Amino acid sequence: MISETGPFMLRILVLTWLFIFAPLSQATTLLVLGDSLSAAYGIAPENGWVALLDKRLQQQGYAVSVVNASISGETTQGGLSRLPRLLEQHQPDIVLLELGANDGLRGTFPPVIRSNLDRLTQLSKQQGARVLVLGMQLPPNYGPAYTRRFAEVFSGVAETHDTALVPFFMEKVALEPSLMQSDGLHPNAAGQPFLLDTVWPALVPLLPQP
């Protein structure tokens, strides 16, 4: 006589086996390490480009968790002091480096900026993360030699470490007064979607399939 509990127990064993051995689907973690441009300076946080990125990812079905670790006034040195803890805490799969603008505005020696960005990239890749470098440019009043050397820092980092690159993060807004706040440095709420649209094409190849 076959026990009536036999089929039930068999199903339990099969489900247990599937739970143990089937691959687990985990969300990808995307860490944004930036300054005021990514910290929604002067506008509501939900209108910032990082919040808009999170919303677009969800709408398009990407299993991505966005962590915004951006702080107004942040420099590459400040980011370097914070990144190890952030990597340990969040273990990101993708890191967006949006730093260097404040270094440039303070006239920091470009090789120093380059060294810090090199180290930020190295630490992120050692964690196993894919890196996207968001490049910046400075106003011409800083002099042609300095502005050229500053702009070359970001492409140099991306080339050396074989990372994705956005050559100029502010490309679509910097010369459009209607998209900038009165300080002339920070995009307003209307400019935030343009920042996202500048980042998006370089970011998509790093994302998991939706």
The residues annotated with a catalytic role in the active site are 36, 183, 186
Integer angstrom CA distances of residue 17 from 25, 95, 145 = 16, 35, 64
Rounded CA separation 111/167 (Å):
18
Lookup: tokens for 54: 């999170």
SS3 132: strand
Give the Cα separation of 191 and 180 in Å (integer).
7
In DSSP terms, 134 is beta-bridged to 166
Q: Among candidates 96, 25, 28, 24, which has minimal Cα distance to 62?
A: 28
